[in-house]
Amino acid sequence: MNVLNNCEEYTLVTGASSGIGKEIAKEFAIRGRNLVLIARNKNALEELANQLNTNYKVNVLFVSIDLLEENASKSIYEWCKERNIKIQAIINNAGVGLFGEFHNLSVEKQISMIALNINSLVGLVHYFIPELKKRKKGYILNVASIAALYPLPYYSVYGATKAFVLSFTEALRHELRHSNITVSCLCPGDTDTNFFNNAGNTNQKKFLMPPENVAKVAVDSLLKNKSVIYPGNMKLISKIPRFILKKIIARRVSKYEL
Ligand SMILES: NC(=O)c1ccc[n+]([C@@H]2O[C@H](COP(=O)([O-])OP(=O)(O)OC[C@H]3O[C@@H](n4cnc5c(N)ncnc54)[C@H](OP(=O)(O)O)[C@@H]3O)[C@@H](O)[C@H]2O)c1
């Protein structure tokens, strides 16, 4: 790492090796923020770190770690503490989906997904809140999904993990409302990333948002202290009453039923 600026504070982004997380990292770099990038793919993290370091003159560190490892959140916290890396913002973006009928999907994979989408996020928030409190201003952005708002057949467990993230984040925002920490939840719709392929859903998607657009809205809105962030036309969807949304979704997913 070349030390390029004097700012001591860092933004930690999980799932920074691809998709929305990679673009969120870029958005912070554009705004002159130093970064700690987290994911498993070491080469992708190294390449992004070098690119952001060169292009935006920010300090970029990375930790290649599987967030499913026991005590991964604590290890990341200790890694930062040992190096006196002052974290100012936590972006909990790492997450996976699993597509298919609940009873036909591997239960081990579904439980791992719950561990990644929920446990690792809760762990990181828990360990880093005392750190963020030491900063003049602290930020937490948790990435849920528009699927947090309604039950999503064929992504039943995934959708439920994102409902957890939204509920948890809104409750935490209330608890921290008189503190220096801004807490926001990002609820993207379908976005053009590896997500669908990795989830085992190879159906062609019609409307996919570019991850760059999602990331820009996310970071701008976090810095403006928005509570729940709906990129693109997801804002309109969020206004539809839940009982109507459930009917729309049921009709939309009926194509998966033979
Ligand atoms: N794409 C969409 O349509 C969409 C819509 C709504 C919400 N989201 C949410 O957006 C977030 C980002 O997803 P994406 O769409 O950008 O997909 P993506 O490109 O597949 O990114 C997922 C990221 O999570 C990391 N990750 C996965 N498993 C991990 C593990 N065990 N340990 C550490 N890191 C891990 C991946 O890195 P490594 O593989 O290198 O570990 C990657 O950087 C997820 O929380 C997802 O649920 C996506």
pLDDT digits (tens, 9 = 90+) for 42-79: 999 999 999 999 999 999 999 999 999 999 999 999 99
The domain segmentation of the chain, as residue ranges, is 9-256
Q: Which atom of ligand 1 is nearest to the CA of 190?
A: 3
Q: Which residues of the chain have pLDDT under 50?
A: 1-4, 6
Among 10, 158, 230, 256, the one annotated catalytic: 158
10 is catalytic: no
Residue owning the nearest CA to atom 17 of ligand 1: 195
Any atom of ligand 1 within 6 Å of the Cβ of 20: yes
Taking the C-alpha atoms of residue 180 and residue 191, their distance in angstroms, rounded to an integer, is 31
Residue 120: what residue type? S
pLDDT of residue 161: 98
Contacts of 13 (CB under 8 A, 6+ apart): 21, 24, 25, 28, 35, 36, 37, 38, 91, 93
Per-residue pLDDT, 203: 82
**Residue 22 CA: which ligand 1 atom is closest?**
43
C-alpha 82/C-alpha 30 separation (Å) is 27
Atom of ligand 1 nearest to the CA of 14: 34
Q: Is 36 in the pocket of ligand 1 (CB under 6 A)?
A: no
pLDDT at res. 205: 73
Cβ pair 218, 229 in contact under 8 A: yes
Mutate to test the pocket of ligand 1, among 14, 20, 150 (most ligand atoms within 8 A of CB): 20
Of ligand 1's listed atoms, the one at least distance from the Cα of 186 is 7
> What tens digit of pLDDT does each residue of 86-112 get?
999 999 999 999 999 999 999 999 999
Superfamily of domain 9-256: NAD(P)-binding Rossmann-like Domain (3.40.50.720)
Pick from 12, 96, 116, 228 the residue to mutate for probing ligand 1's pocket: most ligand atoms within 8 Å of its CB: 96
pLDDT for 51 equals 98
Collapse the DSSP code of 218 into the 3-class scheme (helix H, G, I; strand E, B; otherwise coil) and give the result: helix
Q: Ligand 1 in contact with 198 (CB < 6 A)?
A: yes
Alpha helices in the chain (DSSP H): 19-30, 42-56, 72-82, 107-114, 121-134, 156-175, 195-199, 211-223, 234-239, 242-253
